[in-house]
Amino acid sequence: MIKAGIIGDGYTAAELLRILAGHDQVEVAAILSTENVGRRLDEIYPHLTGFCHLKCEESKVENLIGRCQVVFLALPHGLSVNIALTLLEHGIKCVDLGADFRLKDVSLYRKYYELEHGAPEMLERAVYGIPEIYREDIRKTDLVANPGCFPTSAILPLVPLLKEGIIKGEGIVIDSKTGVSGAGRTAKPASHFCEVNEGIKAYGVGTHRHGPEIKQELSLAWGKTVDMIFTPHLVPMNRGILSTSYAQLNPGSNPTTVREVLEDWYGNEYFVRVLPPGTMPHTKWVYGSNFLDLGIYTDPDSGRVILVSALDNLTKGASGQAVQNMNLMLGLDESKSLRWAGVHP
């Protein structure tokens, strides 16, 4: 068995443990924590009873060296850089679920995360971890920057159309709704039940940290800087993201080519499901799964393209995609331990 380690004990770490409990070639050997040292994981997360018997160990990178071949860094931004450097020096592959290696422009990292990057020379080494776009690069790397949940929901629908020249790179609007688990397990006033229940609100308008991440990948696909707006909203549900992306057809593009291109790109992809005409995604259909569901509408009169995507923010938006990336890095079947349907209703 290949041995894996996890640094962090929040929701994404718990989701990693849930997913990897069904992996027949990878076993979690250790999980590091700062607040729960000595506590069993199934005490912190009772749903893991019978699936995980590990105790949280002190958050020292030395506790993983010699015990693991791959490590998931499920940490807040700013904490992964030095740890990843040490692990890589010891030949341990890393999947960073935080934001420290996602942005290639260090000035954007400084602006949006209000930190100086600890190893800017590592940004080119890291591969942005959307397998459906960067699969071959992921196979060859030892450091994956696991994408944010909102970016995954926007990049997968839009990149093929930008790359093929079907839509304009100007005037793109991305409107996203997310469940409360995206805020993490740490208690915050804005995510208290009374603050969230029976309401919906926009947040991070014009300033959300996932905005430059989306813009980076869309611009790479288009070949020059895109003009886009991204606005996230918080809705009273536990898990899930629904993103609606609006774009305009390029002059001369046939409305039918939108579906043709997306079906061609994703027809052989297991985890991206292009839904039939007239069907739009529901977050409940992907709940607990590693799927992204994609609905398509093109107005033949105005040339307006509307793409609706749904994913689980903790699975395809975080830990499921991290396991997908790990499988590729280790030369395993990409879908190992991820082939299950969403939980519905």
Q: Just list the catalytic residues.
A: 149
Q: Angle at the Cα of 201 (from 196 to 203), degrees rounded to 5?
A: 110
Q: Give the containing element (helix H, strand E) for 2.
A: strand 2-7
CA 4 to chain centre: 19
**Distance from C-alpha of 119 to C-alpha of 100, rounded to nearest angstrom:** 9
Check if the beta carbon of residue 307 is closer than 8 Å to that of residue 298: no
Dihedral of CA 279/281/282/288: which sign? positive
Check if the beta carbon of residue 308 is closer than 8 Å to that of residue 243: yes
**Distance from C-alpha of 131 to C-alpha of 270, rounded to nearest angstrom:** 11
Burial 8-37 (b: 16+ CB within 10 A, else e): bbbbbbbbbbbbbeebeebebbbbbbeebe
Full strand arrangement of the beta sheet holding 272-274 = 201-202, 228-234, 172-178, 241-248, 304-311, 292-298, 272-274
Going by the DSSP 8-state scheme, the letter that residue 133 receives in this structure is H
Residue with tokens 């749904």: 310
Task: Give the residue among 88, 236, 222 at the shortest CA–CA distance from 168.
Answer: 222
For the chain, the first-to-last Cα distance in angstroms comes to 35
Check if the beta carbon of residue 210 is closer than 8 Å to that of residue 230: yes
